[in-house]
Structure 1
Amino acid sequence: MSPRHSLADRLRQPGLVVAPGCHDAIGARAIAQAGFEAVYMTGNGLSASLIGAPDIGLLTMTEMVARGRALAAAVPVPVIADADTGYGNLNNVARTVAEYEAAGVAAIHLEDQVTPKRCGAMAGLALVSREEHAEKIRIAVATRRDPDFLIIGRSDARLPLGLDEAITRGKAYAQAGADLVLLEMLQSEDEMRQALREIEAPLMFNYVEGRVPSLTAEEFGRIGFKLLSYPVSSTLAYAHMMTAFARELKRSGTTRGLEANMLDLPSYEAFLGREHYA
């Protein structure tokens, strides 16, 4: 069974799929080796790791797809990828779907912001009409070749336009054929439960520290979500670790004392699967 088919099949079964986010293949390997069923490829983290810039729509579709291909090749579990706004109009969305599908990822989400977009946790979000984005979802569904390649309709309407508009958009994207719906930045358990009641599609949730209710994966599953990602958590942890590492090395002039927070080289080579190479 391919990772793509395994994700589609797993989401039809009871329970929650948890997909921690990462911005590179080494992160994807760590997530897969920890036993998670899926990996989430974060656009925010890619912007940080590839160009050292905030998530404000600077990366191209080609850059995002290339990293999606690398992650999908590095792990045996399905990769769920951020595809931003589809990188343009309906023709661009069709090409985006074709490229991500060919790259081997299992699912993408398309968001209803204007182009260039920005991180959904930022202030000043601007959205296209729900009709325009619903048409993008329809084109995405019609373009895919494999029905197990999942299209996730995402709305960022909650913060700028309110809960009612976010749910209305979620309904429209479900009706347009989205396999799952993602409403960014729901602000309470009551809002989550209302969205789950009113939208006739499985729901995904993005957990962003400090911006949404602090629930466990078990609690998200009990509420009724089918897919849970932690899109930027590992990138935040990496940035913190690198900042501390660089400062300590500059201060002390040695890595002595830092080894406890590192893999030794044999463990590192085993982590990367060195034994499988000639």
Structure 2
Amino acid sequence: MGNRVPLKQLLQREGIVVAPGCHDALGAKIIESAGFDAVYMTGNGTSASAIGKPDLGFLTMTEMVSRARGIVSAVDIPVISDADTGYGNRNNVIRTVQEYEASGVSAIHLEDQVTPKKCGAMSGIELISIEEHVDKIQAAIQARKDENFLIIGRSDARGTKGLAEAIERGKAYAAAGADLILIEMLESVDEMKEVARKIDAPLMFNYVEHTKIPNLTIQQFQDLGFKLLAYPLSSTFYYAKTMMDLMRTLKETGSTESFQEQMLKIHDYEKFLGIEKYR
């Protein structure tokens, strides 16, 4: 952890920072071993993996921070975490920032939904006012102790109030001092270009498969002007599908033999987890 390059420093370099998502420490270690510079802790995937429930605001702040702390301790790259709505009003946001910062997380994003929130890809999302979320962002900035701990202002307005409202909110959150702006669920390249043109702040993008978001490469996201790119649910989706296939096959055939070539061997698995450090 002592050699971790601050996310703020990575973002000052040329090019885009890519942060694949994970819902546990093992996933984070795999992401790091693949050579990525940062990792994103998904709230949706954490809700599924920790309590087996959809992303509807069931997890508490302390549950999320506990999972984040384990992920941070497992890797030497910055961890960016979903912090939902800050788990309440501006006072709750202050404690949220204090707890996430103490856990070693490098950045959190705060979304402008009502509490309890929903996954940004769901329908029926309700928003708080621009003024209330600006107040929460300002409270978050004042609460942090280290300027390297980044506050990302997120808006979920695109799906419910339209692009113009989402951009207005993004501009307001940038003016309030957010270090990056995240506009969820943009549906076209033209929308992405408009966001980049109208919001004068570093931009983050969450790429979620099987939504209206166009399929673009990392290079294309970079060319559009995004500075931080997360793939929040890719690994969770793949894990769930692979587990379903494995369990169905075991139930139907009574054997895992057809999957064994796709599995890590136990010694390789233990080596990856660093067992030699403890012998």
Tell me whether the two structures share a fold, i.e. TM-score over 0.5.
yes
- 8 A Cα contact 1:24 1:71, kept in partner: yes
Structure 2: unaligned runs, 5 residues or longer: none
- 8 A Cα contact 2:138 2:176, kept in partner: yes
Q: Which residue of 1 aligns with 2:125?
A: 125
Evaluate the alpha carbon distance shift between residue 23 and residue 216 of structure 1 in structure 2; reply closer, same or farther with a 3 A threshold: same
Give distance in 1, aligned partners of 2:54 and 2:70: 22
- Using the size of structure 2 for normalisation, the TM-score is 0.98
- Deviation of 1:200 (Å): 1.2
Q: Which residue of 2 aligns with 1:71?
A: 71
- Deviation of 1:4 (Å): 6.5
Is 1:275 the counterpart of 2:276? The answer is yes
Cα deviation digits, residues 120-151 of structure 1 (max 9, x gap) = 00000000001100110000001000000000
Q: Which residue of 2 aligns with 1:109?
A: 109
Evaluate the alpha carbon distance shift between residue 225 and residue 3 of structure 1 in structure 2; reply closer, same or farther with a 3 A threshold: farther
Evaluate the alpha carbon distance shift between residue 210 and residue 257 of structure 1 in structure 2; reply closer, same or farther with a 3 A threshold: closer
Evaluate the alpha carbon distance shift between residue 4 and residue 156 of structure 1 in structure 2; reply closer, same or farther with a 3 A threshold: farther
> Per the alignment, in what secondary structure is the counterpart of residue 117 of structure 1?
coil
Q: Which residue of 1 aligns with 2:249?
A: 248
Q: Which residue of 1 aligns with 2:197?
A: 197
Cα deviation digits, residues 178-227 of structure 1 (max 9, x gap) = 00000000111111111111111100000011220110111101111000
Is 1:220 the counterpart of 2:221? The answer is yes
- Count of residues in correspondence between the two structures: 278
Cα deviation digits, residues 79-127 of structure 1 (max 9, x gap) = 0000000000111000000000000010000000000000000000000
> Per the alignment, in what secondary structure is the counterpart of residue 134 of structure 1?
helix
- Deviation of 1:256 (Å): 1.5
Identify the range of structure 1 (251-260 vs 226-235) with the bigger mean alpha-carbon deviation.
251-260
Q: Which residue of 2 aligns with 1:59?
A: 59
- 8 A Cα contact 1:3 1:106, kept in partner: no
Q: Which amino acid aligns with 2:11?
A: L
- 8 A Cα contact 1:3 1:78, kept in partner: no
- 8 A Cα contact 1:65 1:103, kept in partner: yes
- Using the size of structure 1 for normalisation, the TM-score is 0.98
Q: Which residue of 2 aligns with 1:180?
A: 180
- 8 A Cα contact 2:5 2:77, kept in partner: no
- 8 A Cα contact 1:4 1:106, kept in partner: no
Evaluate the alpha carbon distance shift between residue 168 and residue 3 of structure 1 in structure 2; reply closer, same or farther with a 3 A threshold: farther
Q: Which residue of 2 aligns with 1:37?
A: 37
> Per the alignment, in what secondary structure is the counterpart of residue 6 of structure 2?
helix
Give distance in 2, aligned partners of 1:77 and 1:114: 32
Flag as ranges the 4+ runs of structure 1 deviating above 2 A: 1-6
> Per the alignment, in what secondary structure is the counterpart of residue 204 of structure 2?
strand
> Per the alignment, in what secondary structure is the counterpart of residue 257 of structure 1?
helix
- Deviation of 1:258 (Å): 1.3
- Deviation of 1:25 (Å): 0.4
Q: Which amino acid aligns with 1:29?
A: K
Give distance in 2, aligned partners of 1:57 and 1:2: 33
- 8 A Cα contact 1:4 1:107, kept in partner: no
Give distance in 1, aligned partners of 2:139 and 2:14: 29
Q: Which residue of 2 aligns with 1:141?
A: 141
Q: Which amino acid aligns with 1:219?
A: Q
Structure 1: unaligned runs, 5 residues or longer: none
Give distance in 2, aligned partners of 1:12 and 1:32: 20
Q: Which residue of 1 aligns with 2:80?
A: 80
Give distance in 1, aligned partners of 2:159 and 2:147: 32
- Percent of aligned pairs sharing the same letter: 62
CA RMSD of aligned residues (A): 1.1
Q: Which residue of 2 aligns with 1:28?
A: 28
- 8 A Cα contact 2:4 2:76, kept in partner: no
- Deviation of 1:274 (Å): 1.0
> Per the alignment, in what secondary structure is the counterpart of residue 258 of structure 1?
helix
- 8 A Cα contact 2:155 2:183, kept in partner: yes
- 8 A Cα contact 1:4 1:148, kept in partner: no
Give distance in 2, aligned partners of 1:117 and 1:139: 20
